[in-house]
Structure 1
């Protein structure tokens, strides 16, 4: 190929590469905001079937929107009210009981046994030095607690942004869809709109199904911990709820965390942790073979191997949000292949 004007060719090529790098840099810089927007759209698509169901019950759309938004705000406020005060109280309590913990460890029979087995190690001195270190560095612990509180505040601020965007997208979802459909050529607009509605309905049903499974996990966890007098039933129920939203490994991860919390001295006991481990082993079987198949088969139809691959790939690419949207994305791709790609190939 003969280049007539090498300078112009090089300039255009350089500008193209620079524009590409600028776009990539912008995406990386705005990844937090894009994550908020993606999460808000995902939740809005999950709320849309509820609004549609209320409209079928002859409720005006504006009334259905108000009901759904008020319910969403009440859920957000309830979670904040349950979790934040308990976390703050426990951090303050931990700082207060450091001297008592030091005394208890010194009087614990295990320390004497260890001292007898290993006489060359002064365990009493180690415990005393550790207590003195914690006491002398109480300012650092306080600053760490402040950093932890700032992290919680940042998370709550992000959740508030997602909540505001969700309310906006939920209220204007039909207008957004109509605006997107206008960008498609008129000859293909009807087919595109039909396919897009199927995809959004599938995503909405998936979100409702996943929230339903997570709600079962959270409610049953709260009841179980309340019955066995486990530590912090409201907080751990929220942990079970949010982790159950993650496909494949969410319930297992949440169960391990809750079991370990039940094992902490002063909060639980080995017996409590053992009972919790047995309960979650049984619950995971019930969820895997009864709850999840019956709830999710009405939402999306995706082969098991595709579910695993999609969840792993989505989690690696976009973290938690990627793991959440991976399965409906895979379902949407399969739907496009079945209704667009395969019929087009059959026409050739």
Structure 2
């Protein structure tokens, strides 16, 4: 018996579409249903950013209002003012530290020269430091006794000056008419005496402060001189490794330039002092050694130092003898020309490669900022800046 084939799908039951749930049943279904993975951004509707709630403020992001901005800016301004006040208050200490480091760098070539001769660095530093101490002691022994002797002579001769003044005929007539001597005595005992006493105490405090500053400077210089290599190695670690070798080479050039400048300045001032001492001894000026040390010390000051020393020595010579003062003036005019155009260029040509105009500008700016210390530091700083520009900035600009 033949049977007809059933159509495809016959006998299979097709499930009916689910009915839409309404009311509370729909809400329960939505809560218990698995939400599945989140839809990627851009599929279907645009992705909506989700606000991260702040603790205590659910669903509300942190908004930077004008009050918070003003508070942050005010705190920054107060911090900057506090830092500036601290720098100004400790400016004297900063200057001492900078000068001590400068002197240590300047004396380091002498230490290395002794090391090349086979002396250990510790003993080389000790030898250089001993020379510095001896120089300070000799300067004190040459300057302090003459000044003390002059003051003692003036105090001893003061009663005679007053007696001669009181016996002068013109002054006696004026005293009879206007009572000058009693008024002068009242002024001396009532005003001048206490002022001089206060001035003497203040001068003593200034001397003690200068002595303490000098000792502090020497101690810091000794520490910096002993740990100079350690300081350089530590600072180079702050530079990226790829630039460390180049930075170290430039730093060595800068340090050698500063050392050469200090050594050259000391040599020039020593030449000025020795020649001045020989000349004053020949002419017969009193306290020739003390005046020569004054010339050597002031000659370290750029631009105006040699002129200051020449004026001081010429003035002292004029007080003793007019011909001697005129001779000193002629000597210093001739010597300064020789120093400016012969000695200085030959000594400084290998250490400080700076044009004369830059040297003058740097000394003026340094003197305006920090006085004599700024003028002393300005020229090597200008030389260091010129070296950095020549070795780094100009090659980079040439590659652009």
Cα deviation per residue 1:190-216 (whole Å; 9 max; x = unaligned)? 111111111011011001101111111
Inter-CA distance 318–176: structure 2 relative to 1 (3 Å threshold): same
Give the CA deviation at 1:143. 4.2
Hey, what's the Cα distance between the residues in 2 that align with 1:131 and 1:44? Answer: 54
Bigger helix fraction: 1
Aligned match of 2:95:
35
**SS of aligned partner of 1:263:** helix
**Runs of 5+ unmatched residues, structure 1:** none
Question: Is it true that 1:94 corresponds to 2:149 in the alignment?
Answer: no
Higher relative contact order (CA 8 A, sep 6+): 1
**Runs of 5+ unmatched residues, structure 2:** 1-62
Equivalent residue runs for 1:55-204 within 5 Å: 55-102=115-162, 136=189, 137-138=192-193, 140-204=195-259
Hey, what's the Cα distance between the residues in 2 that align with 1:235 and 1:104? Answer: 32
Contact 2:236/2:247, CA 8 A, preserved across alignment: yes
Hey, what's the Cα distance between the residues in 1 that align with 2:250 and 2:180? Answer: 66
Give the CA deviation at 1:325. 0.9
Inter-CA distance 129–39: structure 2 relative to 1 (3 Å threshold): farther
Hey, what's the Cα distance between the residues in 2 that align with 1:133 and 1:156? Answer: 37
Inter-CA distance 224–149: structure 2 relative to 1 (3 Å threshold): farther
Inter-CA distance 48–282: structure 2 relative to 1 (3 Å threshold): same
**SS of aligned partner of 1:18:** helix
Hey, what's the Cα distance between the residues in 1 that align with 2:179 and 2:334? Answer: 42
Hey, what's the Cα distance between the residues in 1 that align with 2:187 and 2:323? Answer: 30
Inter-CA distance 331–196: structure 2 relative to 1 (3 Å threshold): same
| RMSD, aligned α-carbons | 2.7
- Larger radius of gyration, structure 1 or 2? 2
Give the CA deviation at 1:71. 1.1
Aligned match of 1:238:
293
Cα deviation per residue 1:300-321 (whole Å; 9 max; x = unaligned)? 1111110110000010011111
Hey, what's the Cα distance between the residues in 2 that align with 1:287 and 1:31? Answer: 34
Aligned match of 1:269:
321
Cα deviation per residue 1:106-151 (whole Å; 9 max; x = unaligned)? 899xx99xx9xxxx999xx999689858964456435434432332
1:304 to 324, 336, 356: 356
Aligned match of 2:377:
325
Hey, what's the Cα distance between the residues in 2 that align with 1:79 and 1:195? Answer: 37
